[in-house]
């Protein structure tokens, strides 16, 4: 029964991909036709309104033939039919992908390989919100590889995933501890810095308090981690002989097919943190890892790190470990100090504005 269900689900996904491919190719051809006619016959923008009416009359009840969507088709073709777009984008792409191969195989007016894997709504979102070629290609690559929904893609754009991937140096030993293809995926999963401003913490805290706040706002934390993380538990118990050990936060990554352990540190990175995480990963691989799971991955989340120190600390570790910083509520910029009212001043002003009967 399970096999039948899996086969049915796999067949449904294959059918959905086939339908999407045909739809994207159809829209590409319409966009190409509009661009070609406008160039050859001098059509203006107003002709799109007439074309939309004609198509709706020819295909009554058909969807996708609004003037707005026809303009989207034109923009889609115009954006991706130029080799210059792909060459500029690939030159600055921060991760490996199939796209460099695509550029080498581009044909005039032909739909580039890979674009038909991505739903139309995702294309419109990227065309409207991501003008930079390399950034758009980065999100196309990630969407195709990880199967991001439109909401996940929007959150990744708002979180500036591309800018962070380009600007921030990641520290880990994935290339030493994992096969090349898996190391690349793990690198994409890890961020150099995690933005925890949503916790509303702007002061020193204990590690358990940080953990409590993350659990309270688990949904936002998972969005910050990226797509594919499934929460397993906090203070996850591991037993060795007569002793117990506890992993601060444990996740399972659907696409890596691996357990991902987080160790939270409120201070700067210390080399002994790597040894502790290596030990936890040995226990997870021995006692929790399923037969078809890949090696467990550890992430040490700390307030700050020295990249050279991290490199030496991880050099001898056989398990894949990454070290990342977190950022809490930023302090008031120096140029604003003394220019904005304090919390007490604001409260006093509110009280002064209240009628006398409400002050008592």
pLDDT of 57 reads 80
**Alpha-carbon 89 to chain mean position:** 18
Q: How far apart are CA 171 and CA 220, in angstroms?
A: 24
State yes or no: pLDDT of 43 exceeds 90.
no
The pLDDT confidence band at residue 94, using thresholds 50, 70 and 90, is low
- 249 touches 290 (CB < 8 A): no
- Domain edges within the chain: 48-79, 81-167, 170-327
The pLDDT confidence band at residue 66, using thresholds 50, 70 and 90, is confident
Mean pLDDT of 258-278: 89
State yes or no: pLDDT of 84 exceeds 70.
yes
State yes or no: pLDDT of 253 exceeds 60.
yes
pLDDT of 6 reads 47
Give burial (CB, 10 Å; 0-12/13-18/19+) of 255: middle
Mean pLDDT of 205-224: 65
Which backbone phi and psi does 103 adopt, to 5 degrees? -60, -40
Q: Which of 76-80, 139-143, 279-283 has the lowest mean pLDDT?
A: 139-143
At 312-354, the pLDDT tens digits run 899 888 899 888 887 664 443 444 444 444 444 444 554 554 4
State yes or no: pLDDT of 287 exceeds 50.
yes
State yes or no: pLDDT of 71 exceeds 60.
yes
Q: How far apart are CA 24 and CA 63, in angstroms?
A: 14
- Count of CB atoms within 10 A of residue 254's CB? 13
Q: Could you tell me which of 232, 224, 290 has the C-alpha nearest to residue 257?
A: 290
The pLDDT confidence band at residue 61, using thresholds 50, 70 and 90, is low
Task: Report residue 70 as tokens.
Answer: 């026809």
At 219-238, the pLDDT tens digits run 566 666 776 788 888 889 99
- 197 touches 329 (CB < 8 A): yes
pLDDT of 123 reads 94
DSSP 322: E
Q: When comparing pLDDT for 69 and 148, which is higher?
A: 69
Partners of 233 in beta bridges:
250
Mean pLDDT of 5-13: 54
pLDDT of 128 reads 92
User: Which fold does the domain 170-327 belong to in CATH?
Assistant: Trna Endonuclease; Chain: A, domain 1 (3.40.1350)
At 108-148, the pLDDT tens digits run 557 887 788 899 999 999 999 998 888 888 888 878 877 77
Mean pLDDT of 90-94: 61
What whole-number percentage of the chain has pLDDT above 90? 18
State yes or no: pLDDT of 277 exceeds 90.
yes
pLDDT of 87 reads 72
Mean pLDDT of 187-208: 58
The pLDDT confidence band at residue 191, using thresholds 50, 70 and 90, is low
pLDDT of 292 reads 92
pLDDT of 64 reads 76
State yes or no: pLDDT of 186 exceeds 80.
no
């Amino acid at each position: 029964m399970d096999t039948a269900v899996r086969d049915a689900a796999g067949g449904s996904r294959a059918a959905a991909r086939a339908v999407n491919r045909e739809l994207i190719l159809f829209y590409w051809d319409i966009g190409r036709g509009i661009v070609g006619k406008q160039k050859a016959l001098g059509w203006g923008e107003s002709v799109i309104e007439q074309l939309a009416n004609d198509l709706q009359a020819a295909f009554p009840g058909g969807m996708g033939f609004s003037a707005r969507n026809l303009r989207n088709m034109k923009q889609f073709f115009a954006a991706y039919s130029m080799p210059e777009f792909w060459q500029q984008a690939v030159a600055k792409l921060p991760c490996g992908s199939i796209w460099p191969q695509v550029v080498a195989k581009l044909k005039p007016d032909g739909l580039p390989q890979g674009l038909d894997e991505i739903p139309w709504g995702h294309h419109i979102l990227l065309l409207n919100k991501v003008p930079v070629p390399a950034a758009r290609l980065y999100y196309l690559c990630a969407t195709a590889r990880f199967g991001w929904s439109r909401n996940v893609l929007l959150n990744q754009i708002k979180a500036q995933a591309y800018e962070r991937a380009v600007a921030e140096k990641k520290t880990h030993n994935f290339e030493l501890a994992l096969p090349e293809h898996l190391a690349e995926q793990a690198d994409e999963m890890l961020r150099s810095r995690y933005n925890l401003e949503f916790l509303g913490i702007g002061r020193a805290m204990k590690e358990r308090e940080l953990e409590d706040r993350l659990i309270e706002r688990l949904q936002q934390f998972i969005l910050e981690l990226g797509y594919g993380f499934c929460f397993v538990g906090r203070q996850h118990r591991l037993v060795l002989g007569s002793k117990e050990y506890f992993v601060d936060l444990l996740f399972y990554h659907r696409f890596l097919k691996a357990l991902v352990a987080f160790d939270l540190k409120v201070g700067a990175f210390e080399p002994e943190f790597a040894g502790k995480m290596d030990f936890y990963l040995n226990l997870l691989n021995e006692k929790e890892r399923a037969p078809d799971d890949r090696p467990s991955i550890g992430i040490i989340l700390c307030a700050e790190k020295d990249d050279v120190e991290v490199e030496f600390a991880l050099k001898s570790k056989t398990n894949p470990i990454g070290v990342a910083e977190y950022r809490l509520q930023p302090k008031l910029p120096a140029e604003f100090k003394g220019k904005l009212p304090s919390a007490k001043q604001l409260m006093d002003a509110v009280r002064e504005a209240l009628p006398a009967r409400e002050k008592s």
